[in-house]
Structure 1
Amino acid sequence: MNSPTIEKRRIALEEKYLSSITKSPLTGIVIATLTTFVFIATGLLPYQTLETVIGFIIVAWLAVENGGNDVSKGVAPLVSSGAAKEIVALVYGSLVTAVGGFLSIYLGIKLLKLFTGGIIGANYKITIVMALAMAAGAALWVAFATRFSLPVSTTHAIVGAVVVVGTVTYGFSSVVWSSLIHKVVLPLILSPALGLSIAWLLMYAISLLKIPENASRGLTWISSGAICFVRAVNDTPKIVAITVLVAMLPSDVRQTDSLLPMFLLVTVAMGIGSLVKGLSVTRLLSNKVTQLDNYSSVSAVLTTTALVLSSSQMGLPVSTTHVSTSAIIGAGVRKGRQAINWIVVRDMVLSWLVTLPGAGLLGAIAYYILRILIN
C-alpha cells in the first residue's frame, strides 16, 4: 500500500474521531462538569446544595452546547468566503464570544429580567425541580441538534422548556401568554423574514458600491466578530436566568456583584463550547447552504449584527440562529435560487419548528423524573 493512500486513511480516521468528539453530547457534559467544579473549588461559585450544584452543571452544559451550536452563525461567512480557515475562525469566534458574554451583564440585563420573571406569572413559585427540568430540557435539545449538525435556537429551546414545565406544574394559567406573544413569539417569527429581506437589499446595495476586495474581506472579519459578540450579549443573560432560578435567587435581583459568578460560569462554558463543539454546524452553514463571496458575507453579517444588537438593547429575545441563517440565505438568493441548497434549508426550518415543543417535551420528562428523584 503506497504512502499517499495511508496518509488519506490517516486523515479520514482523524476527521472521523474529531467529528465524533465535537458532536457528542457527552463532550459537553464533561466540559460543563469540569468547569463547574473548577469554579466551586476556586470559590468563584459558592457551594450550596447537591441540587444546585447539579443545576449549575446542567446550565453550564446548556452554555457549552449553545456555544457549539451558535458560534457558527458568526464565523460561517468567514469560512464560506475563504477569508479564514475553520480552526482560525473558531478560535476568533470563541474569543469574541467570551468578551460578549462577560459584557452582557451590563448590556443584556433586560433579557435576564424577562426570562426570570416575564414568562411564568409572579404568583407562581419556580421550584428547584422546575428550574432543573427547564435547564435539562433546553440543554438536551440543543445537544441533540448539534449532534446532527442542525443550527437551532437556544432561545426557542429555553422558552419551550420554561412554558411546558410551567404548564405541567401549575397549568396554562401560570404562563403570562400576553408577554410571551408580544415579547417572545412575535420577535422570533419576524426575525427570519427581516434577516432574509434586509440581507437581500444590502447585497444589492453593496454590489453597487463596488467595495474593493481587501476592504470587503476586512469588513467580513469585523462584522463576523460583531455577530459573535452580539449573539453572546443576547444569549448569555437567557442562560444566566436559568442559573438564577437554580440558585433560588430572587427573580428581581439587580445587583451585578451577585450575578457576576454566574455570568462568568456561563461565559467560560460558552467560550469553550464554541471552540470545541463549533465545527460541525460551521461546516453546514459555510458549505452546504450556499457559497458566499466577500460581498454576500458582508451583507449577511451586517444584517445579523444590526438586528441582534438592537433586539438585545430592547430586551427582545430574537434568535441569532434565525436571523443569521436567514441573512445567509437572503445574501445567497441574490445570486439566484439555484445558489441555495433548499434541501438543507428545509431540514433547518423543520428543526426550528419542532424546537419549542421538542425542548418542552424533554423538559416535561425531566420534570417528572426529577420530581421522583428529589422529592
Structure 2
Amino acid sequence: MTETILLALVVVTALAFDFTNGFHDTGNAMATSIATRALKPKTAVALSAVLNLVGAFLSLAVAATIAKGIVDAGVITLPVVLAGLVGGIVWNLLTWLFGIPSSSSHALVGGMVGAVLAAVGTSGVLWTGVVSKVLVPALLAPLVAIAVAGAGTWMVARLTRGVPQEVSNRGFRWGQIGSASLVSLAHGTNDAQKSMGIILLALIAGGAVPADAGVPFWVIISCAIAMAAGTYLGGWRVIRTLGKGLVEIDTRQGMAAETSSAAVILLSSHFGFSLSTTHVATGSVLGSGVGMPGAKVRWGVAGRMFVAWLVTLPAAGLVGALCHWLESAIGGAAGTIAVFALLVVVSAAIWVISRRKPVDHTNVNEAWDEEKGAGVEPVAATTGEAGPERVAPVPAAATASSVGPAIESVGSVSVAGASKGSVQS
C-alpha cells in the first residue's frame, strides 16, 4: 500500500514537471510570432498547445533516452525519482520567475543525476549517455541553430530587398504561422517524452512493469495532456524575453528563426537526443539578428541567458541531491511525503511572488527598455488602485523599477547574477 502511494506521488510530480515544461517553453515556438503580431497572444498559445499534444504521440526515442540512457535504472528507487523531479521543477519555476529561457530538459537531467549521486554515488550515472546525449547536443545545438537561422535570415533579406515592407510583412506573417506551428509540433515530439521516460523509470522502480518494458499508452496520453495544458497557460515572462529582449524581430526574421528551430529539434528527436528546445530557439532568434543587416542583438541579455544555461545542470542537481538527503534524514515514506509537501510550498511561494509584477497576454509586447528591462507595472484598469490581475502598461522610462532576469531581487528572493533584462508571466 505504501509503495502504491509513493508511486502515485511520483507520477503526479512527473506530470507537474511536464506542466511546468509546457508553460516554460511556450515561447520557444510562439515568442517571435507574438512579437511580430503574426498571431494574437492567446491564439498563439492555444495553437501551440494543440500541436504539442499531437507531437507527443509521434516519437518515443527521447523517452527511451531519459528512461535508460542517463542513469542506471537498476539503482533507481521511487524516492530518488521524486527528488530528481523536484530539482527540475524548482529550477523551472525560478527561471520562469525571472524570465530566463533556460532548459527544462537540462533541469530534469540535472535533478535526476544529482539525486542519483546523493543516493548511490557516481556508479549510478551513465556518464557516456550524459555526455553523448545531453552535454554534446547542449553545446552544438545553439551553435547550429545560430548558423542555420543566420544564413536563412540573410538569404531572405537579400531576396526581399526590393519588396515593400507592408507586402513582405503580410506574406511572412502567414509563413510565421506555419513555421511556429512546426516548432510546436517538434517540441511535442521532444519534450513531452522526457516525463514519459521518468514515469517509466518510476514504474520500473516500483515493480509495476518489467525493466525492459516500453512506455504504457496511459503514460503517453497523460503526459501529452499535461504538456498541452501547461502550454496553454502561456509562459508570458519567458515569451517576453525571447520575443522582445534579444532582438527586435520582423516577420522575415521570425519565420527564419522558427524554421531553423523546427529543423534542428525534429532532427534531434529522430536520433533520440535529449535536446534543449530552449537552447535551439534562443540560438535561432540570435541567428536571425546576426543574419539581418542592421539588426541589433542585445548581447547583454544573451550573456545572462548563457550563464543560466551553464548553471542549470549543477543547480538542479544540487536541489535533487538536497531533496534526497532530506528524504534519507527523515526516513521511509514520511521523508518522501515531506519532500513532496516542500515542493508544494515552494511552488506556491514562487507563484505568489510572481503576482506582484504579473505579465500576461495584455502586456507581453510592451516595448523593451535596455536600461530598465521590460518596465511594466501593475495598476488598476479603472479604479486607479494597484491590482494583481489587470495590468496597464506604463512607459518604461516612467517606472521606478523593472522586473525579470534584470531584477536583482523580487520581494525577499535574490538570484545571483540576475540583472536587468526581462519580465515574465
Q: Displacement of 1:130 after TM fit?
A: 0.7
Pairing 1:1-375 to 2, within 5 Å after superposition = 49-101=4-56, 103-104=57-58, 107=59, 109-121=60-72, 124-210=74-160, 212-247=168-203, 248=206, 249-254=209-214, 259-335=216-292, 339-371=296-328, 372-374=330-332
Q: Displacement of 1:338 after TM fit?
A: 6.3
Paired with 1:374 and 1:147, the residues of 2 have a C-alpha distance of: 33
Equivalent residues of 2:30, 2:44 under 8 A apart: yes
Query: What's the TM-score once normalised by structure 1's chain length?
Result: 0.81
Q: Which moved more, 1:236-245 or 1:189-198?
A: 236-245
Q: Residue 339 of structure 1 aligns to a residue in which SS?
A: coil
Q: Displacement of 1:219 after TM fit?
A: 1.4
Equivalent residues of 1:134, 1:242 under 8 A apart: no
Equivalent residues of 1:117, 1:251 under 8 A apart: no
The higher-RCO structure (CA 8 Å, 6+ apart) is: 1
Equivalent residues of 1:59, 1:139 under 8 A apart: no
Paired residue type of 1:318:
L
Q: Residue 75 of structure 2 aligns to a residue in which SS?
A: coil
> Structure 2 stretches of 5 or more lacking a match?
334-425
Paired residue type of 1:118:
G
Query: Structure 1, residues 297-339: CA drift from partner, whole Å, max 9, x if none?
Result: 1110010000000110111111100011110011012346861
Q: Residue 150 of structure 1 aligns to a residue in which SS?
A: coil
Larger helix proportion of the pair = 1
Paired with 2:243 and 2:21, the residues of 1 have a C-alpha distance of: 18
Match of 1:35 in 2: none
Query: Structure 1, residues 215-261: CA drift from partner, whole Å, max 9, x if none?
Result: 3221110110111111111011111111112233334312x5xx221
Equivalent residues of 2:100, 2:238 under 8 A apart: yes
Paired residue type of 2:49:
S
Paired with 1:319 and 1:366, the residues of 2 have a C-alpha distance of: 24
Paired with 2:224 and 2:93, the residues of 1 have a C-alpha distance of: 18
Match of 1:31 in 2: none
Equivalent residues of 1:116, 1:251 under 8 A apart: no
Aligned length: 321
Q: Residue 271 of structure 1 aligns to a residue in which SS?
A: helix
Paired with 1:286 and 1:275, the residues of 2 have a C-alpha distance of: 17
Equivalent residues of 1:240, 1:266 under 8 A apart: yes
Query: Structure 1, residues 251-303: CA drift from partner, whole Å, max 9, x if none?
Result: 4312x5xx221122222121111122422211121111111111101110010
> Compared with structure 1, are the counterparts of its residues 345 and 213 closer, same or farther at alpha carbon in structure 2 (3 Å cutoff)?
same
Match of 1:29 in 2: none
Q: Displacement of 1:85 after TM fit?
A: 2.2
Paired with 2:151 and 2:292, the residues of 1 have a C-alpha distance of: 12
Paired residue type of 1:111:
V
